[in-house]
Amino acid sequence: MSDDERASQSRTTYRHGDLRGALIAAGVEMAREGGPRAIVIREATRRAGVSPNAAYRHFADRDALLKAVSDTCLGLAADRIEQEQAAHPTTGDAVADARLQLRTVGLGYIAFAREEPGLFRTAFSVPDDLRQALSPAKAGVSGLTPFQLLSLALDALVDSGALPPARRENAEFLAWATVHGLGMLVIDGPLRGLTDPMIDFATERLLDMVDRGL
């Protein structure tokens, strides 16, 4: 007899096992279709098969749950970026590879925004801070956060000689801001109605601009 069976027999839904994780998972699911506003404590507990107040054993309030879901979403963004990088194999040319690495960060980021607008909005709906940009809670399966993936790409660019060290400092901000802005404008800003090819085109031009202007 498995633990699950014993649990569901001797008590109704008493000890959940991983309620915290279940609530976050439910939150991600709600965010997926409705953005941060759709994250609702009572609904999350309902989906986890537990009473509303059980959530307060794991989260101080709704904002705490939202924050946890938001962090998870950032991790998913990191995964999407790494997926994009895996899809673009290296060529052996250090400069070309470094530039491609930066480009794939942008491509993955925009892809995530377009494929999962609700999660993307949720990821950035919580006030953040540079000190926490490296928090493991925001990391994907590989253990790296989106911010770290970007930093690594910029480091590689400097190592390859494609980016003068003098321009390296704070380059994260420029690259990130640029791509982040496009993501936002595409999912609920004025660029929303654009066709996919138009967005692809704008993305390419934007990444060209970063490549050239960094």
Q: What residues make contact with a copy of itself under the rule CB under 8 A?
A: 37, 124-133, 147, 170, 173-174, 176-185, 188-194, 198, 201-202, 205-206, 208-210, 212-214
Please spell the DSSP secondary structure of the chain, one letter per residue. Answer: --HHHHHHHHSSS---S-HHHHHHHHHHHHHHHH-GGG--HHHHHHHTTS-GGGGGGT-SSHHHHHHHHHHHHHHHHHHHHHHHHHHS---S-HHHHHHHHHHHHHHHHHHHHHH-HHHHHHHTSS---GGGTT-GGG--TTS--HHHHHHHHHHHHHHTTSS-GGGTTTHHHHHHHHHHHHHHHHHTSTTTT--HHHHHHHHHHHHHHHHHH-
Query: Which of a copy of itself, DNA, none is residue 179 near (CB under 5 to 8 Å by kind)?
Result: a copy of itself
Considering only CA atoms, which of 185, 182, 179, 187 is closest in space to residue 147?
179
Minimum distance between the CB of residue 19 and a copy of itself, rounded to whole angstroms? 26
Can you tell me which of 1, 2, 9, 10 binds DNA, judged by CB under 7 A? 10
Residue (27 or 117) nearer to DNA, CB: 27
Residue (134 or 137) nearer to DNA, CB: 137
Residue (22 or 186) nearer to DNA, CB: 22
With contacts defined by CB under 7 A, how many residues of the chain interact with DNA? Answer: 26
Minimum distance between the CB of residue 37 and a copy of itself, rounded to whole angstroms? 8
Can you tell me which of 16, 32, 168, 180 binds DNA, judged by CB under 7 A? 16
In the region spanning residues 63 to 92, those forming contacts with DNA, defined by CB under 7 A, are: 63
Tell me if 52 contacts DNA by CB under 7 A. yes
Residue (22 or 157) nearer to a copy of itself, CB: 157
Can you give the binding site for DNA, defined by CB under 7 A?
10-17, 19, 39-43, 45, 50-54, 56-58, 61-63
